[in-house]
Amino acid sequence: MAVRPPRPHPFDVRAALAGLLGGLLLWGIHLATRPAHDPIVLLDGRWWILLPLVVTAACEALRRTLPRTALLVGWAALTVDTITQGNLVTLVMFTDLVYAAVLYGPPTTARRVLWVSGVLTVVGTVVPVAIWQVPKAVLIGAVIGLVAFMPAATGWIVRNHRDAAEAARLHAEQTALLAEMDRAQAVVAERARMARELHDLVANHLSAIAIHSTAALSLDDPDTSRQALGVIRENSVEGLAEMRRLIGILRDTGGDKEPAAAPTLDGVGALVDGARTNGLDVILDADHGDSLPTPVGLAAYRIVQESLTNALKHACPGRVTVTLRQPNGSLHIAVTSPYGDRHGPSAPGSGAGLVGMRERAALLDGTFEAGPESAEHGKIWVVRACLPVAEGEPA
């Protein structure tokens, strides 16, 4: 497939037509830059003036699409114009070609044009003065500087400003993109945190309600049903209270209320008592420090809470053990429960609890594992977590 040549920019086409018409106007009124008897005029005759004018105007139309080619052809046209009577518009359009080559050309071309025009200006000033040794010889270098170096320097300055503006625009776009990515990550992290909190707050109570309601429906015993309804009511009230507290935290934007206290390991005893009320045989063996960092205490409380909830939903009849130890600057949590086929009412699980416990441990650079293990009296389900309690824990 043939490659189509680039189309000239509409502004460049209009500039070329304007230059051509202006040059023709000067040519028509016999206004040239040099008299016919000037020694430098080698091509005598008015018609020779039109050749470099037309070529330079054509190059002007390509100043943006082919800046390097336009400058080289324009340089040749200016050389021809120099040995004719000359046209001022041809000279002006050539200065624009120099400017466009530096502004729109490749970086290498821009640097070369700037250096070459600077060297020509210096040489055009020093050599005539050294040869003729008259002050008027300086005018040759001044003309070369006005025609070549000044447009090149102007194009270089404009190019630097344009590149700086483009770099600032790209930096602003990258900053906005990074800010949007940070915002999206913050939203995802906050949603995950709220999912963990909502699951830990409600799952325990709803699991107890589901199990005891199943037991009440399956047993035709008024005393058992009354006892199950009592447990259901207690867990419903506590679940509603926890849900209202969470909703209050989400809706409270005025800051005029005291924030609700985060659960700590001091509340594990109440968790164990609640689990016993729901029918679990739980033993608590706690030996840890009194001043744990708040994030560690909250994570440990939630891990124990979720472990007891899972034991209530899935464990076989038997003893559940909660062990808390703090050796070597780490809090070790272990919750064991009987493992096997459960006979009796149960509640379905989605696995979100294990995911939440693992996330809580990972956020504190801790470890977490859960799974069945062999024990002396059969298999047990073990939940183990190790949370660092060094100073400076993240909030």
What sign results for the dihedral spanned by CA atoms 289, 290, 292, 295? positive
Q: Measured between alpha carbons, how far is 103 from 305 in angstroms, rounded to an integer?
A: 69
Would you state the structure tokens that stand for residue 325, as one six-digit string? 């130890």
Neighbours of 54 (CB within 10 A): 16
State residue 218's pLDDT score: 65
What angle (nearest 5°) sits at the alpha carbon of residue 377, between those of residues 372 and 378?
35
- What one-letter code names the amino acid at 179? A
Q: Classify 259 as helix, strand or coil.
A: coil
pTM reported for the whole predicted model = 0.57
Beta strands 378-388 and 367-375 are antiparallel
State residue 349's pLDDT score: 57
Q: Please check whether residue 208 is in contact with residue 235, taking contact to mean a CB–CB distance below 8 angstroms.
A: yes
Neighbours of 155 (CB within 10 A): 23
Q: Please check whether residue 278 is in contact with residue 235, taking contact to mean a CB–CB distance below 8 angstroms.
A: yes
Which stretches of the chain score pLDDT less than 70?
1-3, 5, 200-207, 211-212, 214-221, 224, 227-228, 231, 237, 246, 248-262, 290, 341-351, 390-395
State residue 394's pLDDT score: 44
State residue 281's pLDDT score: 87
Q: Please check whether residue 215 is in contact with residue 224, taking contact to mean a CB–CB distance below 8 angstroms.
A: yes
State residue 14's pLDDT score: 95
State residue 224's pLDDT score: 64
Q: Please check whether residue 324 is in contact with residue 348, taking contact to mean a CB–CB distance below 8 angstroms.
A: no
State residue 19's pLDDT score: 95
Find residue 194's DSSP bridge partners: none
Helix (H) / strand (E) element for 298: namely: helix 294-314
State residue 124's pLDDT score: 92
What angle (nearest 5°) sits at the alpha carbon of residue 295, between those of residues 290 and 299?
90
State residue 73's pLDDT score: 96
Per-residue CA distances from 131 to 60, 100, 128, 263 (Å): 36, 34, 5, 96
